[in-house]
Amino acid sequence: MRRSIATLAATLVAVAGLGTAQAAASGRPENKLVKRSDVEFIPLNPARGELGPKAGKLWGDIRADVPSGVLVKFVDGFESPPHIHNITYRAVVISGAVHNDDPAAEKMWMEPGSFWTQPPGENHITAAKGENSMIFLEILSGPYLVKPADEAFDSGERPINVAARNIMWLEAEDAEWVDDAGPEMAYLWGSVEDNEKNGTFVKLPSGYSGELSTSAPMMRVVTIQGRASIQLSGESETHSLDPGSYFGSQGQAAHQLSCDSDEECVLYLHTEGKYQLGTSP
C-alpha cells in the first residue's frame, strides 16, 4: 500500500504542469478564464490505469507553496486506500456522489453542491459512485502531497462534511453581499471582514442577470451547477460557463453574470474581501 500511495503522490503533484486554455483577454491580465471544455486531465496514479482518478488544473501549481485549484474526476466505484495529506484542502462536489471520511465510517454520499474540508494528518478514504463523478478541489498553500496512513498526526483541525441539502442559504434581506431578491448566498469558510480570505456559495435562479462587483485584491469563481455566462469586467465578449469552468480577477472589477440554464446556477467564490451581487446599473 505504501508503494501505491507513493506512486499516487508522485503523479498527483504533476497535475500542476497540466496545460489548460486559460486566457486573459483583451490585454487585461487581471481577468482570468478557464472553460471546462478546455481543461486537460491526466491520471493521478498511472498504475491504476483508467480506474484511477484524473485531475485538471484551473489555477496555481500544487507542487509549490501557492494557492491552487483543480478538477478531479472519478470512475464509478472508485475507492482510495487510507491515506493522509500534509496540508488542508477544501472540495465541492460538481457531479456524481462522493464519500470522504474515516476509513471505518459508514458511507455518507455527498451529492452535487456538497462541501467538505480535509485537514492535514487525518487518516481518511475517498470514494465515488455514479457516472462522471467530479469535484473541485482547492488548497491555499502547498505542495499538495499524499502520504501513507501510518504517518497520521493530529493537527488540531477537524474535517467538515456538509451535504448540499444542509447548506444554509441566505436571501438578500439576510445577506449583506446580495442586493437583489432571487439570488441567495451561503458562507462556507473564512472571515467576512474587509481584505480577509473567505469562501462562499452564490445561487442564481434560472434567467437571472446581474452584476458581480468587488474591489478585493483577488476573486476566483468556479461554476458548480447550471450553465452560467460571464462578461468579464472591461471586456465585451460573453462566455458560457458549464460546471467546472472558472473565472477570476484582481482588484476593482464589475462582471456581468447571468444564469442561462433551466435549473438554478450555483457558484463557488473565493475572495480576499467582500463582493456585491446586484442588478447592473
Among 236, 266, 235, CA closest to 95 = 266
Looking at domain 2-164, which CATH architecture does it have? Sandwich (2.60)
Instruction: Give residue limits of the domains in the chain.
Output: 2-164, 184-278
Same fold, 2-164 and 184-278: yes
Q: C-alpha grid cell for residue 1?
A: 500500500
Among 134, 151, 147, CA closest to 58 = 134
Total-model pTM: 0.88
Cβ contact 199:90 at 8 Å: yes
Cβ contact 249:42 at 8 Å: no
How confident is the chain (281 residues) per 10-residue block, as mean pLDDT?
45 44 46 96 78 91 88 95 96 98 95 97 96 95 92 96 97 90 94 86 97 94 98 96 97 96 97 89 56
Tell me how far apart the alpha carbons of residues 116 and 67 are, in angstroms, rounded to a whole number. 17
CATH class of 184-278: mainly beta
Q: Are strands 115-118 and 160-162 parallel, antiparallel or unpaired?
A: antiparallel
